[in-house]
Amino acid sequence: MPLLVMKFGGTSVADLGRIENAARKVQREVERGYDVIVIVSAMSGKTNELVGWVEGTSKLYDAREYDAVVSSGENVTAGLMALRLQEMGVPARSWQGWQVPINTTSAHSSARFVSIPRENMDAKFAEGFKVAVVAGFQGVSPEGRITTLGRGGSDTTAVAFAAAFGAERCDIYTDVDGVYTTDPRITDKARKLDKIAFEEMLELASLGAKVLQTRSVELAMRYKVRLRVLSSFEDTDENSGTLVCDEDEIMESKVVSGVAYSRDEAKMTLVGVQDRPGIAAAIFGPLAEAGVNVDMIVQNISEMDPNGPTTDMTFSCPTNQVLRARKAIEEAKAAGTISYADLVEDADVAKISVVGIGMRSHAGVAATMFKALAAENVNIKVITTSEIKISVLIDRKYMELAVQALHDTFDLDKVG
């Protein structure tokens, strides 16, 4: 029997009415001949409520008990979904992470998958059950304790099950009807993509697109799991949504597939850093230890100083990590690990990126991008590139203008 994995996010199961709507979509796939594994998130807002309860009880909480509490939201949804399917005449059973079992590492609140044995669930399908409703976001550690996977963990759970069970496809139901060329709230010219390559989706997810969680796309690309993103609130068929797939399934790609942005970026520059072997490690080692997510890095050409050559080192990080970054750098300076003349912060920037696998075989994308921004008098502060991506830092006040200009420049509203 062919198998399908279907994942429903928090807004898709926010109340009993929406759970029933999701259950009808599952029933439709069963009627088409599929066995179905359904992965569910907690009802919208429930995880935040549970986290608040934990923090209100204990500021320095035990991470194991945190996971025990926070994972309960998915358990409730799984049970309600299974009950609704049973009421509709669909043989269904709910599963918590430890019952499958979903074996993970012991890193509470950020656990990683180790294995998902098939025996228990295969036995239930063999008995005649058509749907297994699995609580997403959770697993079980080698010590037998409940673990959670971090925010967005239900997407990753769905992909992991699709890989483990050899599913025909993994459908991610959410509150949007697919992946767009950019955020439709920024420009009404944004166009829904029928297909997008794993690499493009991974770049877009990591650069600020909120449709899919980055870890889930990484896992899908590694195991070649075909993903489909589609809306829970619309009637769907086999051609609905956006298919995230291998590049070989896409006949011909546009040079640029999408424009992504990240609003909450900061730029930090160490001025007058001693230019010597190992200085980059001396700067970014403490930042990594402090949990600062460094993204773009630029080093200027060296200048001669009476005490030896110096350089400026610029990097970007999320705005909510600026204080942590400054503390780590100042402590490294106090310890004598690094020296610099000044630390300059700019917490009013945004990152704009163009992404497309077509960049591999087409020259001039960067020049086109820079000309488009220059035509709008948008100054570029930092530039980084990869094989299929170009990212720039600009003043945040120009973010929407830049996205609209680039979307128009690369004709992303047009098909083909």
Domain boundaries, the chain: 3-249, 252-411
Burial of residue 222 (CB within 10 Å: 0-12, 13-18, 19+) is exposed
Burial of residue 83 (CB within 10 Å: 0-12, 13-18, 19+) is middle
Q: Please state, in angstroms and rounded to a whole number, the distance separating the CA atoms of residues 74 and 79.
A: 9
DSSP designation for 382: E
Determine the pLDDT at residue 409: 95
Determine the pLDDT at residue 94: 97
Q: Please state, in angstroms and rounded to a whole number, the distance separating the CA atoms of residues 399 and 397.
A: 6
Please check if 314 is assigned to a binding site.
no
Determine the pLDDT at residue 175: 85
Please check if 156 is assigned to a binding site.
no
Determine the pLDDT at residue 247: 84
Determine the pLDDT at residue 308: 72
Q: Domain 3-249 carries which CATH code? A: 3.40.1160.10
What superfamily would CATH give domain 252-411?
A: VC0802-like (3.30.2130.10)
Report the DSSP pairing between strands 146-148 and 258-274.
unpaired
In Å, what is the CA distance from 133 to each residue of 22, 84, 130, 166, 172?
A: 12, 11, 10, 17, 14
Please check if 185 is assigned to a binding site.
yes
Please check if 211 is assigned to a binding site.
yes
Range list of H helices, 145-271: 153-165, 198-206, 214-223
Please check if 8 is assigned to a binding site.
yes
Please check if 10 is assigned to a binding site.
yes
pLDDT string in tens for the chain (416-residue length): 799 999 999 999 999 999 999 999 999 999 999 999 999 999 999 999 999 999 999 888 999 999 999 999 999 999 999 999 999 999 999 999 999 999 999 999 989 999 999 999 999 999 999 999 999 999 999 999 999 998 778 999 999 999 999 999 999 998 888 899 998 889 999 999 999 999 999 888 877 666 788 889 999 999 999 999 999 988 877 778 999 998 888 876 688 999 999 988 999 999 999 888 899 999 999 999 999 999 999 988 767 666 678 899 999 999 999 999 999 999 999 999 999 999 999 999 999 999 998 888 888 999 999 999 999 999 999 999 888 999 999 999 999 999 999 999 999 988 86
Positive or negative, the Cα torsion across 240, 37, 117, 126?
negative
Determine the pLDDT at residue 243: 93
Burial of residue 248 (CB within 10 Å: 0-12, 13-18, 19+) is exposed
